[in-house]
Structure 1
Amino acid sequence: MSLLQHWLESLDYDYQILPTCTHVQSPRSSCRECIDHCPEQAIFFKDGKPFIDTVKCTQCSHCIVACPVQAVEGFLPKRTVENNRLIVSNKDVISLKELLVYYQKQVTTIVFKDEDASAEWQEMIKSANESLCELGEAAFTIQFDKAVEETEQTMTRKELFSFWKKDVKNIAKEMAPAKWRFNQESLNLIKYYPDHQFIDFSLNTSACTLCKACEILCPKACIHLTDTHFTVAPEQCSNCSLCEDICPEQAISITSKISPVTQVNYWIRENACVSCEENFKTLDEDEHMCHACRKKKEFLFMQ
């Protein structure tokens, strides 16, 4: 083992929430994925932002996997991978996202060290295989081998780091010592299945005012507005729901759904306002009053 590897193994670290967290980007974010998936209740809100209690945290990695924008930094726990086979036990059920990522890294067989799979594992495998079917992939191969032993090939922190991002020495040239972390971006599921999208995007064109808040705050840069089009790249969306949360008109709806990539494109029109007679942009061809005049009319009606 090189001095670099010894040094890497000796580093201590704590999980932490990065500034890319949707709650840091906007107080209107409703995301609770890290909190809801933490078995130790080690994540809490303070001043509207999530923090990790490092005393309670057991570094189980559930929060890292759950975060839709990869805003939790830390290492995943060790896994055993031998000859493209993932060795597991009923004690630790691996998440759907992690299984789908492993699958694209050619780990297509799950081997149980137990006589059978627990009900929780059976449900997870069922979900994974259903997702793989929707993604046009074959199902996981399931094997049972009580005699299988964890050998030197068990993935330690160093080995797991190398599994996800192989050239450690090149990384060392680019990163300061304080930055040694598991690359949580490797859990960005959408990049492993570029021909599919994991969400369905719906826009109420009558309600949208083209304010561009969704475009500005989208962590994955899925939404683009030009003078003539409102376009969405759904294959880039990781379902953080921030656009849905911050839309002042509640015009956006995001639902989980796997399907082949379908670009979303809305035509932006320019109409003349019947009230102020100024031209304005709209997605609704039947709208003939600008947003400002419409709001003024609603306000006067309420008085």
Structure 2
Amino acid sequence: MSMLTTWLESLAYEIQINTQCLHTISPKSSCQNCSVACPQNAITITESKAAINEELCTKCGACIPVCPQSSIQGRSPERFTVKDILLVDEGHPPPGVEELLYFYKKGIRYLSGNEDAQISLDTTNRLLLEMGLEPIKKSVIPEALEAAPSYSRRGFFQKISFEGRRLAAESITPVAWQFNHEVFNMTSMFDKISLYETIIDSRTCNLCEACFKLCPNQALSLTEEGLEINQSLCNGCSLCTDVCTIGSISVSLKARQAGKSSLDVARIDCSGCGSPFYVWPDEITEECSFCRERRQRGYLNPNGN
């Protein structure tokens, strides 16, 4: 198959959203990453799903890297490089934190163009510094562009777009970097590094278990041995904070050594319904929260007491 054929097929590729979308998992999800990133407002979000309007979608791919669940399948935005410089033309969507971290792993150390990427660049550099790595620096227009005097800067990028992947591969990109929807997953971005920090406030948490049951990455677990948070599995989707009705859990973007944290809990059999439930060690109660609420409201429990 020729490169031209492959390129033409890629233009016809439909961007799809699979069932890993947070809105499919829970209607309480507040995630708006894809709709905010879409420059054409082609993505609408309801309580049960995110949907793409094919008539508005230009397949720019801006929605793909920002999905914490990697649930949007397609080709990510076209990016061009000169040595260790990432070129971002004004006509392309600016890269987010996920893309910048990905390109950093591939050897990119400079960013040239599109001032709209400054906020993402600042956040990315904060994470890199937290990991003890050198930040990405801003660069002037590289020599590769200056060497093409017959084209304006915008014209140079337009020429690349029109001539397709062959010109990009031969004159700019030293290696054909293949993109897919999973390479931007923050949980596997850097070995032994967590990019999110999850904290549970034991002073207010009632151990209802909603966050443990809905966490798509099983970063939260509750056993007789304790409440465990596996920071390395957290992808920052924040579904746990969305389903917590009392605001006892928080998720923040912070680079740190991957690891697990745990809190002591005790397992008790409810005196009302007999079902097991968890409490904090210093909490004295014989009833689960459901039986306690039923009693306070004057309802009968399942055993008729």
Aligned partners of 1:204, 1:62: CA distance in 2, in Å?
35
Q: Which amino acid aligns with 2:8?
A: S
Aligned to 2:146: 147
Aligned partners of 2:45, 2:272: CA distance in 1, in Å?
46
Shift of 1:231: 0.9
Where does the alignment leave 5 or more consecutive residues of structure 2 unmatched?
A: 149-155, 161-165, 300-305
Match of 2:193 among 196, 221, 226: 196
Between 138-147 and 119-128, the greater mean CA deviation after superposition: 119-128
Structure 1-normalised TM-score? 0.77
Where does the alignment leave 5 or more consecutive residues of structure 1 unmatched?
A: 165-181
Q: Which amino acid aligns with 1:66?
A: V
1:128 aligns with 2:124: yes
Q: Which amino acid aligns with 1:32?
A: Q
Aligned to 1:55: 55
Q: Which amino acid aligns with 1:296?
A: R
Aligned partners of 1:276, 1:83: CA distance in 2, in Å?
68
Give the SS at the match of 2:58.
coil
Aligned to 2:7: 9
Q: Which amino acid aligns with 1:138?
A: E
Aligned partners of 1:125, 1:277: CA distance in 2, in Å?
54
The aligned runs of 1:50-199 (5 Å cut-off) are 50-92=50-92, 93-110=94-111, 112=112, 119-144=115-140, 145=142, 146-147=145-146, 154=168, 162-164=176-178, 182-199=179-196
Aligned to 1:296: 294
Structure 2-normalised TM-score? 0.76
Aligned to 1:177: none
Shift of 1:206: 5.4
Aligned residues: 274
Q: Percent identity?
A: 25
Between 61-70 and 275-284, the greater mean CA deviation after superposition: 275-284
Query: For the Cα contact (< 8 Å) 1:81–1:153, is it kept in 2?
Result: no
Between 72-81 and 280-289, the greater mean CA deviation after superposition: 280-289
Q: Which amino acid aligns with 2:60?
A: C
Between 190-199 and 97-106, the greater mean CA deviation after superposition: 190-199
Q: Which amino acid aligns with 1:20?
A: Q
Aligned partners of 1:17, 1:80: CA distance in 2, in Å?
26
Aligned partners of 1:246, 1:258: CA distance in 2, in Å?
24
Instruction: Describe the shift of the 1:190–1:101 C-alpha distance in structure 2 as closer, same or farther (beyond 3 A).
Output: same
Between 9-18 and 210-219, the greater mean CA deviation after superposition: 210-219
Q: Which amino acid aligns with 1:27?
A: P
Instruction: Describe the shift of the 1:79–1:8 C-alpha distance in structure 2 as closer, same or farther (beyond 3 A).
Output: same
